[in-house]
Structure 1
Amino acid sequence: MKSLPISTKERIVTIDIIRGFALLGIFLVNMPAYHSPDFLMQLYGIHKEQKGIDYWVDLFLQLFIQMKFYTIFSFLFGLGFYIFMSRAEQKGLATGRLFTRRIFALFLFGAAHLILLWFGDILHVYAITGLLLLFFYKRENKTLLAWAFSLLFVIHALMSIQFFIPASTLEEMKEASQQDHSGKLTEYMQVYGNANYAEWVSYRFDTEIIPILMNLPVTMTMVLAMFLFGLYAGRMGFFQPDTPHLHFIKKTQMITFLLSVPLVIFLALLKLHIVDPGIYRQAAVQLFTSLSGMTLCFFYISSLTLLVRNERWHKMLRPLGYAGQMALTNYLSQTIICIILFVGFGFYGKISLAAGTLICLLIYVLQITFSYIWLKRYKFGPTEWLWRSFTYGYFQPMKKEQNLKGDVKGTTM
């Protein structure tokens, strides 16, 4: 019996729209690292004071975007895992084997993306962490939630350790770090500006990839927590058109909004230096960015879920769904476009934060347009087609069937 993928009629529009929204947020967060040495500056604690309009763009990104969207994407991965496994079970397919092949293909995409193009890849993290979901698929709902909240507690407790280190010790550590790596930024810029592709990839392996992999356990902890929330939401059927849980979704929206307000306000006070804990300031910004990221993540998800149920809002938000349906293709193409634009054409380090944000929005609009045109003719995005074909063991039919009048049968759901 052939293993069949989810048909276009089985898709849930709400999920595609939320995924498209998350894709935009991730792109906004990633853009500074595409056109500037943002990664190295964060790695070595080198702080850059933004001025003018860049100052306010940075503040907006920190308050409402930073660490708010990869959490949504992670949540959706856990949700997608449930949908994939449950529908495979309904068809009597070997769920474990199919999911393992799906994860292995994702890992190949992620490894190639990480090594050959960009340090900020999240796909390899999802692939490695995703295997752990197999151990939770049959567990009770209360077990999923207990693990998810416990993992979040652990990761934020680890972030808080810095507050118990004496200020004098942190000052010494900061000075030593800046002295040891004072020339690293210049070298980094020279490589990104002048090296050929082979030299660039080789340099990135030690400078970027090794630190990223060393941080993998920490990243996986947060990602797994969001996976489990998504798995729980899938089981409960929160995103089904006929869901009986609208009251719970509205309650979640209200609670997460009320929690987000004081967290975002305090984060703003830190960023504006109205509240200044001295040497602990950066640690406080990191902690409250993450905490507000959790609450705003669920506020965004619940708000979009409710808005999409309104016909007017559904039409307005529907374009996000086209990009979301081709999220893997669009995610990878964002890197390819930006590497060519900033590194290939020599604009690296020469773009302001505000200009980079405008470029990001323009590229995303073009991606929505491309996705809409592509999906008029084809069932899947090109990378999604490869992923599905690898998962199910045979090449998937790409073109949508057409009737005698030339109209495409079915609608994307």
Structure 2
Amino acid sequence: MNTKELTKRIDTLDYLRGFALLGIILVNIIPLLSVKLPVPETTDASYLRFLYLFVEGRFYTIFTFLFGVGFYIFISRANGKGKNGYVLFLRRILVLFFFGLVHVQFHPGEALTVYAICGLIILPFYKANKLVNLVFGTAMLVVLGFFAEKIFMVVPLMLLGIAAGQYQVFEQILNWKKTAIFTCLIFVTSVAGLIYQYQHAPFVFGNGSDGNFLETQRFLHIGITIGPIVSAFYVGLLILLLNFPIVRQVLTPLKSYGRMALTNYVSQTILILGLGQVLNLVDHLSYIQSLVLCMAIYTIQLTFSTIWLRYFRFGPLEWVWRMLTYFEWMPIRKEAD
């Protein structure tokens, strides 16, 4: 693999991580600020339906898959440098677990502790045959997807990420013809799944009649089950667009956002809770207002990430994570040209 290919592959993953973070905050802000259920047949109700059709269960899927890809790349590179990739990875997820222990105090249901624990589970699969990881991961995802519980889908998504690393998918993914064919095929399946889910979309969410509540739950469960299919379409479409230089240039802030994924994931919580307290938004925010707040946070984080990476090599938390993983001091400032 030459230097140019390696750079492209890393850039693609960063764009995807940044893209996943854009969607994750839209869902996370709802429980963090106790956003009120909307009145039926309002703009808020339409936005809530949009969230559960196109966002809920879509972006965490991408983020989890990318963890599996990163897992494979991290160990492979460490081993390639003559280091013990397994030991380094164990340190890496231990640090991640402690980050998660702090984060979960403010954000119940956060992902870092789950990822760290699941990282231990998938460790033996690093040396497994790539076809085994692909088939086993897919089968697990299909079977566990019917339970419509996000936590059950973490391990199979990570296994598919490992398989993607083993098949060197991201070394070839910028081939626009292959990406276009994949995206078109998955688009048809995604549309069929979304149409089926929409047929079960209730007019009232949450505290209506018992029948309506059950219909709401069915709607949400279907969304989680078909989530990986829609997520695959999102990934294929973004990668297809990244084949155009002008798109890559316009979305450069998104790449910076993804390079600092850990910092931005945690700081999303800090900004949501901080602004919620300062502006007295807890239990006083509508769904559309939550979207406006997310857009303000996007502006803050995208700007900060872009400026920070002009002068520093890593994001703040990424820097700490890296040093605790390798047990060595690493300069964070970029050298002057």
Task: Establish whether TM, by shorter chain, passes 0.5.
Answer: yes
Q: What CA distance in whole angstroms lies between the structure 2 residues aligned with 1:66 and 1:219?
A: 10
Aligned to 1:268: 198
> Relative to structure 1, is the Cα distance of residues 59 and 229 closer, same or farther in structure 2, using a 3 angstrom cutoff?
same
Q: What CA distance in whole angstroms lies between the structure 2 residues aligned with 1:360 and 1:219?
A: 23
Q: What CA distance in whole angstroms lies between the structure 2 residues aligned with 1:375 and 1:132?
A: 33
Residues 79 and 230 of structure 1 are in contact (CA less than 8 Å); yes or no, is this contact kept in structure 2?
yes
Aligned to 2:79: 89
Aligned to 1:341: 275
- Segments of structure 1 that go 5 or more residues without pairing to the other structure are 1-7, 39-46, 160-217, 404-413
Aligned to 1:299: 233
In structure 2, the residue corresponding to 1:270 is in which secondary structure? coil
User: Which deviations, in whole Å up to 9, do the C-alpha atoms of 1:156-189 show, x marking residues without a partner?
Assistant: 3334xxxxxxxxxxxxxxxxxxxxxxxxxxxxxx
In structure 1, the residue corresponding to 2:107 is in which secondary structure? coil
Look up the equivalent residue of 1:235 and give its one-letter code.
Q
In structure 1, the residue corresponding to 2:283 is in which secondary structure? coil
Aligned to 2:25: 27
Residues 35 and 287 of structure 2 are in contact (CA less than 8 Å); yes or no, is this contact kept in structure 1?
no
Residues 66 and 161 of structure 2 are in contact (CA less than 8 Å); yes or no, is this contact kept in structure 1?
yes
User: Which deviations, in whole Å up to 9, do the C-alpha atoms of 1:289-346 show, x marking residues without a partner?
Assistant: 0133111110111111121121121112221111111111111111111112214543
User: Which deviations, in whole Å up to 9, do the C-alpha atoms of 1:129-172 show, x marking residues without a partner?
Assistant: 0112211001112211222122223323334xxxxxxxxxxxxx
Q: What CA distance in whole angstroms lies between the structure 1 residues aligned with 2:52 and 2:8?
A: 37
Aligned to 2:159: 228
State the Cα distance separating 1:267 from its structure 2 match.
1.8
Residues 61 and 231 of structure 2 are in contact (CA less than 8 Å); yes or no, is this contact kept in structure 1?
yes
- Matched ranges for 1:111-130 at <5 A: 111-115=101-105, 117-130=106-119
State the Cα distance separating 1:374 from its structure 2 match.
0.4
State the Cα distance separating 1:352 from its structure 2 match.
0.7
Residues 252 and 298 of structure 1 are in contact (CA less than 8 Å); yes or no, is this contact kept in structure 2?
no
Aligned to 2:98: 108
In structure 2, the residue corresponding to 1:271 is in which secondary structure? coil
> Relative to structure 1, is the Cα distance of residues 15 and 50 closer, same or farther in structure 2, using a 3 angstrom cutoff?
farther
Q: State which of 277, 286, 289 in structure 2 corresponds to 1:352.
A: 286
Aligned to 1:133: 122
> Relative to structure 1, is the Cα distance of residues 10 and 392 closer, same or farther in structure 2, using a 3 angstrom cutoff?
farther
Look up the equivalent residue of 1:28 and give its one-letter code.
L
Q: What CA distance in whole angstroms lies between the structure 2 residues aligned with 1:315 and 1:73?
A: 22
State the Cα distance separating 1:271 from its structure 2 match.
1.5
- Segments of structure 2 that go 5 or more residues without pairing to the other structure are 1-5, 205-210
Aligned to 2:221: 287
Residues 198 and 219 of structure 2 are in contact (CA less than 8 Å); yes or no, is this contact kept in structure 1?
no
Structure 2 residue 2 is matched with structure 1 residue 71: no
Q: What CA distance in whole angstroms lies between the structure 2 residues aligned with 1:157 and 1:266?
A: 15
> Relative to structure 1, is the Cα distance of residues 50 and 223 closer, same or farther in structure 2, using a 3 angstrom cutoff?
farther
Aligned to 1:382: 316
Q: What CA distance in whole angstroms lies between the structure 2 residues aligned with 1:158 and 1:293?
A: 13
State the Cα distance separating 1:51 from its structure 2 match.
4.8
Residues 106 and 127 of structure 1 are in contact (CA less than 8 Å); yes or no, is this contact kept in structure 2?
yes
State the Cα distance separating 1:246 from its structure 2 match.
5.2
Residues 76 and 230 of structure 1 are in contact (CA less than 8 Å); yes or no, is this contact kept in structure 2?
yes
Q: What CA distance in whole angstroms lies between the structure 1 residues aligned with 2:286 and 2:213?
A: 27
TM-score between the two structures when normalised by the length of structure 1? 0.74
Q: Which has the higher mean CA deviation after the structures are superposed, 68-77 or 301-310?
A: 301-310
Percent of paired sites with the same residue: 37
Look up the equivalent residue of 1:402 and give its one-letter code.
A
Q: Which has the higher mean CA deviation after the structures are superposed, 57-66 or 19-28?
A: 57-66
State the Cα distance separating 1:247 from its structure 2 match.
4.8
Structure 2 residue 169 is matched with structure 1 residue 238: yes
Look up the equivalent residue of 2:307 and give its one-letter code.
I
State the Cα distance separating 1:222 from its structure 2 match.
0.4
Look up the equivalent residue of 2:129 and give its one-letter code.
E
Q: What CA distance in whole angstroms lies between the structure 1 residues aligned with 2:9 and 2:78?
A: 14
Q: State which of 241, 249, 255 in structure 1 corresponds to 2:185.
A: 255
Q: What CA distance in whole angstroms lies between the structure 2 residues aligned with 1:91 and 1:252?
A: 34
> Relative to structure 1, is the Cα distance of residues 99 and 145 closer, same or farther in structure 2, using a 3 angstrom cutoff?
same
Q: Which has the higher contact order (CA 8 A, sep 6+)?
A: 1
